[in-house]
Amino acid sequence: PSRVTIRTLAKMRRENQSISMLTAYDFPIAEALDEAGIDVLLVGDSLAMVVQGHSTTLPVTMDQIIYHAEMVGRAAKRAMVVVDLPFPEGQLSIERSIEASARVLKETQCHAVKLEGGAEQASRIEAIVTAGIPVMAHVGLRPQNVHVDGGYRVQRDEVQLIADAKAAQAAGAFAVLIECVTTEIGKAITESVTVPTIGIGAGPHTTGQVLVTHDLIGFHSGYLPKFVRQVADVRGLIKDAAAGYAQSIRDGEFPSEKESF
Ligand code: KIV
Ligand code: NA
């Protein structure tokens, strides 16, 4: 299959096709999502929460993101792979953001970075894109701002959110991710830009949708936001498999003759 690129995504928006995006943090899951035809994989800093067990996205480091991006980049044959700039690589100097973003292209087989922020990040987005690194902007709820915002909540400042998306597009962002806004605002933002929009908790009118894979497949025990659709119980499957294995050992039933030399 030919590789999904920023041109493919732009064409999908023009032709009113929907974009599918999911997070991935390791080889086997990335391989399965890629084979399933997911268009874009995101090595999200949600890694901190759903893989590392932290309660916010803040603790994950650039080196850790790179380690996981290597695995996902190796697995993805068709999907475009986007990598989050972890806190505070997108908040310190612009030069530092370019260096961190360049590591994604030099050290992994991934294709773009994602950066939280809109209008106030415009010059940073422009500098990274000028350096040759595609940028997806992330507006609306910004999990890296959790302590300044005092928690996670639906974003409702329509004028500011539209300005953020427009500024990100003008700065050269190839797409805008919109997190946790009303359906009306998700639609209004999408209508105010020409680049693809990817929503998470942003209603059905964005160009595409993204979820955290571990939420979608039920792979962790943590809190699930309202916008998540959980379609499988992988944690339950793992627990049942492990419990059955332990029982078969206690029963003296494993290994059988067939499983022995
Ligand atoms: O880190 C992440 O998983 C994200 C979400 C928007 C999918 O940024
Ligand atoms: Na993120």
The pLDDT assigned to 16 comes to 98
Residue 5's CB is within 10 A of a number of other CB atoms, namely 14
**CA gap 131, 140 in Å, rounded:** 26
CATH class given for the domain over 6-230: alpha beta
Query: Rounded to the nearest 5°, which phi and psi values hold at 241?
Result: -60, -45
Per residue in 46-100, pLDDT (tens digit) is 999 999 999 999 999 999 999 999 999 999 999 999 999 999 999 999 999 999 9
Per residue in 151-186, pLDDT (tens digit) is 999 999 999 999 999 999 999 999 999 999 999 999
200 lines ligand 1 (CB under 6 A): yes
Mutate to test the pocket of ligand 1, among 81, 89, 144, 200 (most ligand atoms within 8 A of CB): 200
Domain definitions of the chain by residue range: 6-230, 233-261
Nearest alpha-carbon partner for 198 in 165, 170, 231 = 165
Report pTM. 0.98
> Which residue numbers are catalytic?
179
Per residue in 232-256, pLDDT (tens digit) is 999 999 999 999 999 999 999 999 9
24 lines ligand 1 (CB under 6 A): no
Per residue in 124-139, pLDDT (tens digit) is 999 999 999 999 999 9
Q: Stretch 18-39: mean pLDDT, rounded?
A: 99
DSSP type of residue 133 = -
Residue 149: CA atoms inside 13 Å, Cβ hemisphere, count? 13
39 lines ligand 1 (CB under 6 A): no
Concatenating the DSSP letter of every residue in 121-177 gives GHHHHHHHHHTT--EEEEEES-GGGHHHHTS---B--HHHHHHHHHHHHHTT-SEEE
Residue 1 clears pLDDT 90, i.e. is over it: no
ipTM rounded to 2 decimals:
0.99
The pLDDT assigned to 83 comes to 99
137 has which bridge partners? Answer: 115, 176
Taking all residues of the chain, what is their mean pLDDT, rounded to a whole number?
98
**CA gap 200, 195 in Å, rounded:** 16
